[in-house]
């Protein structure tokens, strides 16, 4: 089977801004910059897999045409995060004359991983070479980018993909690769990916390699996630005070299916949020979920904490409304 990670980059990644899904509020502004030929320094902020790198590549292609590779440089700041990278690699590219245009683009991915010294050096480089070079910084946490850089950039906040647009991408990939899928399989991938298009493609690859047809079962197996109906059944038993039976379902998920405790507790959270509960009980359950997740993140035993959470749920549901 083909490497879907490469397919996303080389085959299914949009080539034009107009082809990007789910970011209409940003694409319209970027198009205005491209059409005018006047591009400022920019900061792309948002979660992983929502099109930040794709937007930069689309802008480079539309601005520079066939010369885009000569006028565009991409570097990952999480791999090259020291001040020497800014002083040498980035600065050397920034000060050379552009080909076939008035300026060049430098895309710094994961700029929030740059050290403070490197960011200070970058600030000065952005000032000195602003006439012949524009910087696009990409980050997950804009608060980690120093204020002097933020004040020199136009900030674009990318949002996660909505399930409808995520499914459009997956339908395109499935058709292009000839992968058969049952109804609901792509929706399951979109739900699990939680707005991350890159992860959805990787999960699509892993799930489609299991069996001859993509199904909901293979999706959850590939993702090592608990099916919502399994967690719903566990909670139903806990709600009814059947702690031992609920714990049996939990042991099956943890021990036999190898599902991570943090993924189970996240699904419990989703079920409580969407469940038919009165607010008094919902508040108590949400508080319990938050407390037990914190304990697990601090290193407490998953089995003991999830046992404790089920016991707490059973106790809360005995309260009178």
Each residue of 83-137: pLDDT tens digit? 767 777 788 888 888 887 789 999 988 888 888 888 888 888 888 888 899 999 9
Write down the pTM of the prediction. Answer: 0.80
Q: Are strands 133-139 and 42-45 parallel, antiparallel or unpaired?
A: parallel
Q: How confident is the model at residue 211 (pLDDT cuts 50, 70, 90)?
A: confident
pLDDT at position 226 is 84
Q: How confident is the model at residue 80 (pLDDT cuts 50, 70, 90)?
A: low
Mean pLDDT across 223-245? 90
Q: Where are the domains of the chain?
A: 23-157, 163-223, 228-316
Please name the helix (run of DSSP H) or strand (run of DSSP E) that holds residue 107, with its range, or none: strand 104-109
Identify the CATH homologous superfamily for domain 23-157: P-loop containing nucleotide triphosphate hydrolases (3.40.50.300)
- Contact at 8 Å (CB) between 197 and 161? yes
Residue among 127, 147, 149 nearest 137 (CA): 149
Q: Does domain 228-316 have CATH number 1.20.272.10?
A: yes
Enter the CATH code of domain 163-223: 1.10.8.60
Chain centroid, CA 186 distance in Å? 17
Q: Higher confidence at residue 246 or residue 275?
A: 246
Q: How confident is the model at residue 9 (pLDDT cuts 50, 70, 90)?
A: very low
Residues with Cβ within 8 Å of residue 63, at least 6 apart in sequence: 34, 37, 39, 71, 101, 105
Mean pLDDT across 221-247? 90
Q: Using the predicted structure, report yes or no on whether residue 77 has a pLDDT greater than 80.
A: no
């Amino acid at each position: 089977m083909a490497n879907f990670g490469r397919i996303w980059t080389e085959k299914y990644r949009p080539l034009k801004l107009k082809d990007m899904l789910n970011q209409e509020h940003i694409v319209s502004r970027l198009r205005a910059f491209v059409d005018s030929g006047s591009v400022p320094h920019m900061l792309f902020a948002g979660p992983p897999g929502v099109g930040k790198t794709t937007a930069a590549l689309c802008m480079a292609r539309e601005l520079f045409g066939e010369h885009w590779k000569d006028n565009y440089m991409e570097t990952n700041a999480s791999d090259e995060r020291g001040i020497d990278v800014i002083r040498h690699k980035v600065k050397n590219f920034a000060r050379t004359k552009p080909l076939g245009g008035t300026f060049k683009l430098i895309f710094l991915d994961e700029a929030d991983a740059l050290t403070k010294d490197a960011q200070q050096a970058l600030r000065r480089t952005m000032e000195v070479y602003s006439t012949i070079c524009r910087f696009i910084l990409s980050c997950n946490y804009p608060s980690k980018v120093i204020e002097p850089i933020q004040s020199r950039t136009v900030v674009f906040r990318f949002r996660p993909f909505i399930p409808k647009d995520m499914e459009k991408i997956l339908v395109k990939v499935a058709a292009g690769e000839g992968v058969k899928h049952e109804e609901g399989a792509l929706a399951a991938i979109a739900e699990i990916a939680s707005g991350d298009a890159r992860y959805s493609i990787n999960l699509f690859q892993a799930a489609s390699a299991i069996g001859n047809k993509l199904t909901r079962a293979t999706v959850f197996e590939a993702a090592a996630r608990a099916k919502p109906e399994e967690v719903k059944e566990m909670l139903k038993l806990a709600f009814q005070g059947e702690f031992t039976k609920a714990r049996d379902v939990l042991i099956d998920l943890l021990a036999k299916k190898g599902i991570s405790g943090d993924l189970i507790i996240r699904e419990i959270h989703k079920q409580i949020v969407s469940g038919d509960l009165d607010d008094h009980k919902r508040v108590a359950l949400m508080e319990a979920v938050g407390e037990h997740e914190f304990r697990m993140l601090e290193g407490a035993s998953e089995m003991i904490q999830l046992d404790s959470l089920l016991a707490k749920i059973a106790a809360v549901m005995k309260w009178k409304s």
